[in-house]
Structure 1
Amino acid sequence: MFSRAGLGILAFGLAFALGLSACSSPGQTDVATNGEITATLTDPDPQPIAADPRPRLPVTVRGFDGTDVTVSDTSRIIAVDRFGTLAQTVYALGLGPHLIGRSTAAKLPAIIDRTDVTPGGEAMSVEAVLALHPTLLLTDTTTGTPAVFEQLRAAGVSIVFFDPARTLTGTGPQIQAVADALGVHDQGVALAQRTTAEIAAATAAVPAGKPKPRIAFVYLRGTALTMLAGPGSGADALITGLGAEDAGTAAGLTEPFVTITSEALIAARPDILLVMTDGLASVGGPASLLKLPGIGQTPAGRADRIIDMSDSVLLCFGPNTGRVMTALLPAVYR
């Protein structure tokens, strides 16, 4: 089993994550001939809530680690977490021009050219961060060791920590927490309201009266099954929000992700396999996935029910959450 922090470094660093807003491009689902469905966002970049707003600084905020931090300069921001949420939120708040560094997970087209300070999905590199001369680092406890953060603080980097958990109900509050740390409170209110409304609309769109499918989020890399998601993975919150049942949680997992065996997957009895697009490609595509040991013995394998979505949006949460859910709904309830 992996600890929450260990999983963040080992797995999600490698991965990354029909729009409801009038300003957002619609999503779609593409059905392959073998029954696999790709859920997409036509424009994966969230619509900024403002155009380069002027932060009201200085501002003092209490980070998730309990430390009070005074932020006086947001001209050079690095945002790093295992889901890519923080970088996406900075961009959606309208401060994309000030974002200079990101994590491997933050692969939205609008910010893909920012420096990756967690290359290869490893822990944050002190050298990579300091080379960018940041005025502010937004992060969480899963992206580096205490020694790394001590070195950065000793070098004069202001660090604000955020909650590493990803839930639907926590999405709005986290957006607001990021906005407050950046001195753009009003933009945070507007963005949180927009995102919360999109999540609510997606949840309300879950078809009534249909059987609740059991969905397994499977992390794929290489030529084999790698990990199965469980409680606290973020995937469980997304799946539940879609009106479905998380297969890992139902199977009794107690960690966000566990190393998976064919026997464990068979026992989880998923009706649908939810995977990241790059992960699916890494095993050779849907036809190859269905040939892996254990897959064919699951209801999902027998029914050819595979849904994939871009690594950069599927589990990113943040401002795209409602749009991601809406794009997934037709695939889940086809």
Structure 2
Amino acid sequence: MLAATAGAALLVALGGCATTAPAATTSPTTTGDPSVPLSQLDVLDDPRSYVGESTAVLADSGIPALPAPEQNLPVTVTSHDLDGDREVTVTTTDRIIPMDLSGSIAATVFGLGLGGSVVGRDISTTFAEAADLPVVTSSGHTVNSEAILALRPDVVITDGTIGPIDVVLQLRDAGIAVVFVDTDPSIDGVGELARQVSAALGAPAAGEELAGQLVSGIEAKVAEIAEIVPAGEPLRMLFLYLRGSSGIYYLFGAESGADVLITSLGGVDVAAELGFSGSRPMTDEAMVAANPDLILVMTDGLASVDGVDGLLASKPAIALTAAGQHRRFVDMADGDILSFGPRTAGVLDALARAIYAPGQ
């Protein structure tokens, strides 16, 4: 907790800004018709002056998929286990369980045209095609080994971001082919994930095809966004992870995936600018030092702190920032916003609309 003198310093740091956010000039807005190209939007002349929060919504909650590929099985691949690389042989892929923190692996399996073989999902896998699958994680992102074993998977593909890891390794000991892949939250990482997942499923040619499509699609979307970013100093953005019920407030910086989103959207990632890497607990001092123009949040996370009003009331340091004063928060569904894979171009498109042309 800050002492009174430190609280006074916060005010000085922001040049005597008001301590409460002004009321929004409009109701919270949601992005509009995604069939309208970005180039046809009436973008804000000055995104910094806009007052009010916005919600980014994917144009399509589904996964664009290739035709079911030819597979050559059995296949032996290198699994990037946390205890070192090891060889894993996959003999059949009739029953697949992909799982990671962002749902990226599952989206990639579906993108390869093999979604019909997926028998379970993690809590982050929220796209339409997987909605009816049983969830194999409990208490958030905790792996439920009993739920997985009950589904009798032939292969589990993961990246180690959910655990406990000893539970995942128990699956391997039970005779399931467990393949660890790398999930680098970057544009190039999207292509590499497609290659690794397809290799584990005996369909490397499909992986190369999907990788090419995804990377070129993301690069095209980034170029399209750059055309609508207003001239002048770019927006200073920050990704804030919220879980109010647990008292969790984290800033996401370099190598978290949030930095890639922000730079792809034509912004400056102020957490990375301050030298933050990965995620770290938010402090009042860090928030004031960052002083973002706009804050990206997950929809459920924002709801967990009773929305923008609740967040500003409970965290006065956020209310002191430019984003807080203008209620400039853009939220997006938890299972979408940090998903790097087949939906990345769509995520960037939706966020760009919410940032530069809210309400359209």
TM over 0.5: yes
Matched, 1:329 2:352: yes
Q: 1:248 aligns with which of 243, 257, 271?
A: 271
SS at match of 1:87: helix
Alpha carbons of structure 1 residues 245 and 147: separation in structure 2 relative to 1, 3 Å: same
Q: Confirm or deny: 8 A CA contact 2:237 2:268 kept in the other structure.
A: yes
Match of 1:35 in 2: 52
Matched, 1:234 2:232: no
Query: Residue 258 of structure 1 aligns to which amino acid in structure 2?
Result: R
Q: 1:179 aligns with which of 179, 182, 198?
A: 198
Match of 1:60 in 2: 76
1:187-230: CA deviation from partner (whole Å, max 9, x where unpaired) = 22222122111111121121363422111111112266611111
Larger radius of gyration: 2
Q: Decide which moves more: 216-225 or 273-282.
A: 216-225
Unaligned runs of 5+ in 2: 1-30, 45-49
Query: Residue 125 of structure 1 aligns to which amino acid in structure 2?
Result: N
Structure 2: how far apart are the matches of 1:42 and 1:202? 14
Taking structure 2 as the reference length, the TM-score comes to: 0.79
SS at match of 1:312: helix
Match of 1:13 in 2: none
1:68-123: CA deviation from partner (whole Å, max 9, x where unpaired) = 21111100001011111001111111111111122111111221222222212243
Unaligned runs of 5+ in 1: 1-17, 19-23
SS at match of 1:106: coil
Match of 2:66 in 1: 49
Match of 1:153 in 2: 172
Q: Confirm or deny: 8 A CA contact 2:51 2:326 kept in the other structure.
A: no
Q: Confirm or deny: 8 A CA contact 1:79 1:87 kept in the other structure.
A: yes
Structure 2: how far apart are the matches of 1:243 and 1:299? 18
Q: 1:142 aligns with which of 157, 161, 177?
A: 161
Structure 2: how far apart are the matches of 1:157 and 1:314? 31
Q: Confirm or deny: 8 A CA contact 1:271 1:300 kept in the other structure.
A: yes
Structure 2: how far apart are the matches of 1:196 and 1:165? 13
Match of 1:315 in 2: 338
Query: Residue 91 of structure 1 aligns to which amino acid in structure 2?
Result: F
* Shift in Å, 1:58: 1.4
Q: Confirm or deny: 8 A CA contact 2:96 2:119 kept in the other structure.
A: yes
Structure 1: how far apart are the matches of 2:240 and 2:319? 15
Query: Residue 325 of structure 1 aligns to which amino acid in structure 2?
Result: L
* Shift in Å, 1:27: 9.2
Match of 1:6 in 2: none
SS at match of 1:264: helix
Match of 2:116 in 1: 97
Q: Confirm or deny: 8 A CA contact 2:172 2:178 kept in the other structure.
A: yes
Structure 2: how far apart are the matches of 1:272 and 1:234? 17
Q: Confirm or deny: 8 A CA contact 1:83 1:315 kept in the other structure.
A: yes
Query: Residue 56 of structure 2 aligns to which amino acid in structure 1?
Result: A
Q: 1:288 aligns with which of 294, 310, 329?
A: 310
SS at match of 1:144: coil
1:12-52: CA deviation from partner (whole Å, max 9, x where unpaired) = xxxxxx9xxxxx977999x9x962111111212121111x3
Structure 2: how far apart are the matches of 1:25 and 1:71? 41
SS at match of 2:149: helix
SS at match of 1:169: helix
- How many residues are matched? 308
* Shift in Å, 1:275: 0.6
Query: Residue 59 of structure 1 aligns to which amino acid in structure 2?
Result: V
SS at match of 1:121: coil
Q: 2:239 aligns with which of 217, 220, 236?
A: 217
Residue correspondence of structure 1 range 74-153 to structure 2 within 5 A: 74-153=93-172
Q: 1:73 aligns with which of 92, 99, 115?
A: 92
* Shift in Å, 1:169: 1.8
* Shift in Å, 1:159: 0.8
* Shift in Å, 1:141: 1.9
Query: Residue 298 of structure 2 aligns to which amino acid in structure 1?
Result: M
Structure 1: how far apart are the matches of 2:234 and 2:281? 26
Q: Decide which moves more: 106-115 or 217-226.
A: 217-226
* Shift in Å, 1:272: 0.6
Matched, 1:300 2:323: yes
Match of 1:196 in 2: 215
* Shift in Å, 1:137: 0.4
SS at match of 2:188: coil
